[in-house]
Amino acid sequence: MKEFKNTPRIIVADDSKLAMTFYEHILDYLGCEAVLCCNGREALDEFNKEPADLVILDIEMPVMSGLDACREIRKTPRGFTVPIVMVSSHEGEDEIVSGLNAGANDYMVKPVREAHLIAKLKTFLRVSSLHKKDIDMVRSSHLFAGRYRMEKLIGYGAHSVVFKAFDIQEEEKPVAVKILNERVFSEDIAHLFAETAGKIKEISCDNILSIYDFGQFGEQLYLVLEFAAHGDLAFILKKGTLSEYDAVKIMLDMVKALKELSLINILHLDIKPENILYDGKNYKLGDFGFTPSPDGGATIPVKKEIWGSAAYMAPEVITGEDSLSIKADIYSLGLTVFEALTGDNPFYSEKAAVSIFRQLNVLPPGLRAFGKNFSPALSDIIELMLSKNTAERPDLQELELTLPQLLELMEQKKSREDLDKARKEAEKNVKLLQSVKKDRDVPPVSDEEESIARHLSSEIERIRRRAYRRSQPQRRFHRVLLAWTILGGSALLSLAVGLILYRLLWADSTVRPPRGAKIVVMGVDSGKIEEQRILDMSKAVLRSTGEKVGYAYQCEKCGRHFPVTDEAPRKKSTDPDTIFAGIFHKCPSCDSFFTIPVKPQKE
């Protein structure tokens, strides 16, 4: 076994001796220290003695299962960042999801292949070494960029790590230092990163997280940001959903932030709960992973895949449209507020491909579908913001006009609900009940509140009409196509109905007399003509000869008589003349179609 100071330590727990031999062989080949355990309890005890760089757990083990061991390791301070791989003989989706929900980073199905295991070990050990470097930076009170003393590791993003630090040049002022991973570094990104950060640093807005400093330290880009002591919206939502008042407050604050960014031609394109922070008074937009367009317009970053989250992305961002607008951020904001109110993101999935499919093909349910008494005005605004058609979404100006009125309406509603809650609490206590005045009853909805609600409803309706007009150019082609489709279908239907009516009504009544009528018949072979009452032409014969007969027809052109049998129109043929003759009874002598049935002399 190779053991030296920097040897990666890997804990493996499996109750199979054959599997343990396999793991020991692979780990020895990679030069790792292998700690072999027979169950989850032993693995947990070994981790508590000395943390590992990686943990491999079989799910089904005696004493303690791999799932329970994974959960317990995650609860320890040193187990927060360690990579954990679950192994099982089950490959069903439920088993995989249960393993990931327990805190595992990955899941492998038995039998584990050697090449597959080696590839995963190399990947996770590299990530673990990066995390260890970050933790060591905090433990050693490392002075980053010669100025910022790292105090606490706040968390990880997809391509960055965030620390709480103190600026020693500003009297130990608390700041947040965001450091991008070296693997996303390039000269183009560094240039655009600096250009964008420089513009945002000049913005003075209560709803945008202030940038104090930015730069490049080695091959790492970093931002020094205002520290929001109350955390982000994702942390707040772990305690429960928000009230309508707080949700509208977030919308209004974010609209103010987006307006400031739009003035310098910048789109955020990554609005989500993790990027909305709270300082105790205002909500602030942070995590500036965006860049301006080189031509001065507002478009997405050069490497958009670095920054976005598919569960919150607007459809036009996912499809990679060349020209984007602030409407993409309005969509993401609407989806974030939808989640804050309901606790659910209808597009979220562990797999980005599933989130992308849902964003492009699934319509989110309305707020009323969640069974809560949501304000109709708020429901309508969010519905408009989440429209797949960008033209139907409200713009910043419309939201600036509407949201303050909606916030005022929510304030009055909140005031009434607070009074109602206070009255109910007072009624539970007899002593308090005696001190409560009769005039403390919950006031009814005021005329002012009703007036605001009516005005807000009319304003939302105007937004709908404006959105409809904006979307007309996009719908014109579809309307023309639909009109032509309906016209063509109607013409074909009319033709079919006409042919059916002709065969049922006109053709039968003129060519074939009703059953039992007295008609002129003609022998097919003899050409003899006589009148007789006919019931069934297919069985009719001349009384005198017993010969099969047909209807007696006469050509108006040459005057010749000829029989038309019942079978003639039914004969199948590919010859157009034959088919035409079968329908209109062509004269066999002169080929004329001007033929008429011979009428009886008397009834």
Question: How does pLDDT run across 530-548, given as a tens digit for each residue?
Answer: 777 665 666 677 766 777 7
Question: How does pLDDT run across 63-122, given as a tens digit for each residue?
Answer: 999 999 998 988 886 777 788 899 988 877 777 788 888 888 888 888 888 877 887 887
Q: Which pLDDT score is estimated for 278?
A: 93
Q: What would the two tokens of residue 6 be?
A: 């920097």
| Statement: residue 572 has pLDDT above 70 | no
Higher pLDDT, 443 or 280: 280
User: How many CB atoms lie under 10 A from the CB of residue 520?
Assistant: 21
| Statement: residue 9 has pLDDT above 90 | no
3-state secondary structure of 431: helix
Q: What would the two tokens of residue 530 be?
A: 């006589």
Burial of residue 364 (CB within 10 Å: 0-12, 13-18, 19+) is buried
Beta-strand runs (E) in 189-239: 211-217, 220-226
CA distances from 118 to 25, 110, 283 (A): 11, 15, 45
Long-range Cβ pairs for the range 102-109 (8 Å, 24+): 102/67, 102/70, 102/71, 102/74, 103/70, 103/71, 103/73, 103/74, 104/57, 104/70
d(Cα 31, Cα 233) in Å, to the nearest integer?
43
Higher pLDDT, 426 or 251: 251
pTM of whole model > 0.85?
A: no
Beta bridge partners of 518: 533
- Least confidently predicted of 163-167, 186-190, 289-293, 521-525: 289-293
Using pLDDT thresholds of 50, 70 and 90, give the confidence band for residue 134: low
- Beta carbons of 575 and 588 less than 8 angstroms apart: no
Residue 277: partners with Cβ closer than 8 Å, 6 or more residues away = 209, 228, 230, 231, 232, 233, 283, 284, 286
| Statement: residue 31 has pLDDT above 50 | yes
Question: If you average pLDDT over residues 327-343, what whole number do you get?
Answer: 95
Q: Taking Cα atoms as reference points, which of 11, 122, 9, 19 lies closest to residue 57?
A: 11
Angle subtended by helix axes 447-470 and 472-501, to nearest 10: 70
Q: Which pLDDT score is estimated for 39?
A: 93
d(Cα 87, Cα 82) in Å, to the nearest integer?
16
| Statement: residue 335 has pLDDT above 50 | yes
Only one residue has tokens 């039992």, namely: 516
Q: Taking Cα atoms as reference points, which of 55, 51, 48 lies closest to residue 11?
A: 55
DSSP secondary structure letter of residue 392: G
| Statement: residue 291 has pLDDT above 50 | no
Question: How does pLDDT run across 215-265, given as a tens digit for each residue?
Answer: 988 778 899 999 998 889 988 998 889 999 999 999 999 999 999 999 998
Q: What would the two tokens of residue 409 be?
A: 């309406």
| Statement: residue 575 has pLDDT above 60 | no
Residue 515: partners with Cβ closer than 8 Å, 6 or more residues away = 534, 535, 536
φ, ψ for residue 257, nearest 5 deg? -65, -45
- For the ranges 101-115, 197-211, 404-418, the one whose mean pLDDT is highest: 197-211
Question: If you average pLDDT over residues 10-26, what whole number do you get?
Answer: 90
3-state secondary structure of 592: coil
DSSP string, 440-494: GSPPPPPHHHHHHHHHHHHHHHHHHHHHHHHTHHHHHHHHHHHHHHHHHHHHHHH
Angle subtended by helix axes 447-470 and 376-385, to nearest 10: 20
**Residue-level length of the chain:** 603
Q: Is the peptide bond before 597 cis (omega within 30 degrees of 0)?
A: no
What are the residue ranges of helices labelled H in 30-102? 40-49, 66-75, 93-101
Sorted by where each starts, the structural domains of the chain and their CATH numbers stand as 9-120 (3.40.50.2300), 138-227 (3.30.200.20), 241-419 (1.10.510.10), 551-602 (no CATH)
| Statement: residue 309 has pLDDT above 80 | no
Q: Which pLDDT score is estimated for 52?
A: 87
- Beta carbons of 253 and 407 less than 8 angstroms apart: no
Burial of residue 196 (CB within 10 Å: 0-12, 13-18, 19+) is buried
Percent of the chain with pLDDT over 70: 76
Question: If you average pLDDT over residues 337-362, what whole number do you get?
Answer: 87
- Beta carbons of 221 and 193 less than 8 angstroms apart: yes
| Statement: residue 474 has pLDDT above 70 | no
CA distances from 562 to 499, 512, 537, 549, 572 (A): 26, 15, 15, 10, 21
Percent of the chain with pLDDT over 90: 23
Q: Taking Cα atoms as reference points, which of 237, 383, 359, 254 lies closest to residue 310?
A: 359
Chain Cα centroid distance, residue 264: 30
Q: Taking Cα atoms as reference points, which of 44, 47, 16, 28 lies closest to residue 112?
A: 16
Angle subtended by helix axes 40-49 and 66-75, to nearest 10: 20
Mean pLDDT score of the chain: 78
Beta bridge partners of 214: 223
Higher pLDDT, 151 or 184: 151
- Least confidently predicted of 337-341, 357-361, 452-456: 452-456
